[in-house]
Amino acid sequence: MTVTHIPPLPVRDKTAGRALSPMLTRLAEERATGVLVREHGTLYLAEGRVVHAESPCSPGLGVLLTAHGTLAAAAWQRAAARTADPPQAAELLLESGLLTTGALELCHLDALYDAGYFALAPSSTPGRFRYDNTPRLGPLPSVPVVALERETLRRRLLLHRLWPDPATDSAPLIRADPAAPAPVTSRQRVVLDRVDGVRTATGIARNLGRQAFHTLVDVRRLAAAGHLAPVPPAAPASLPYPPPVTDPDIALLKRLRDALEAL
């Protein structure tokens, strides 16, 4: 398959310098504590700072900790069974000596920024905030709202510069046949090997235990090189003839009309 559609050249991100979520900005200013639920993810705030983030598009803290040997999967499952809160589960593992402080803080920030990127994606529905004292400033690092928004904007601009067609972020992906194949790195090869016409970029990230945003970067680079493309949207089926009339009242009216026209 050869990709023939070339998206327009990148332009300056017009959202730069603007708050991605006015509600989130207001909550940060009032030092609110609670949970902000948005269309593509959830942000947990403590005293106006982001302490945790979750998104169905992002693998999450447990996956990042266990995918590459940082932590045994059984150890995470035991900790998660004691609390439904991933940061608290991680703290239990830290206290038990199963995790080092540096490894946990790194994975925690990776998971927070990864899920936060998707949580702050443009939304078709308004966010909902629930004041709740459960989120707290614990031993894990928290992030100022302005820092999360700045990093999210930087990531958006990076993806746009690599390949400005966002369809590769969410659609199932298929292999393509570039006319002049560009070299593929070993990291990109692992991603390309999982392109099967069903998996999306975030599905591949979860399968690999990698941050979803970093996988989006690999996917857009592969798309720019012509190695993959999103599955084209299905064309609506066209009927060669009008469907038969099955309503008896409509059929009777049609017969009366035809009889009157014949007079």
Confidence of residue 2 (pLDDT cuts 50, 70, 90): very low
Predicted confidence at residue 15, as pLDDT, reads: 45
Of 61, 218, 37, 241, nearest in space to 128 by CA: 37
Residue 261 has which token pair?
């026209």
SS3 call for 65:
helix
User: How far is Cα 58 from Cα 53, in angstroms, rounded to an integer?
Assistant: 10
Q: Give the residue from 156, 166, 163, 155 showing the smallest Cα distance to 224.
A: 163
Collapsed DSSP state (helix, strand, coil) of residue 211: coil
Q: What is the DSSP letter of 146?
A: H
Instruction: Grade residue 177 by pLDDT with cuts at 50, 70 and 90.
Output: confident
> Which two structure tokens, joined as six digits, stand for 145?
């709202």
Spans of all domains in the chain: 22-160, 163-230
Q: How many percent of the chain have pLDDT more than 70?
A: 82
Instruction: Give CA separation, 94 vs 60, 61, 89, 100, 236, in Å.
Output: 17, 14, 9, 6, 54
Q: What is the model's pTM?
A: 0.82
pLDDT tens for residues 138-152?
A: 889 999 999 999 999
Do the beta carbons of residue 230 and residue 84 sit within 8 Å? no
**pLDDT given at position 116:** 98
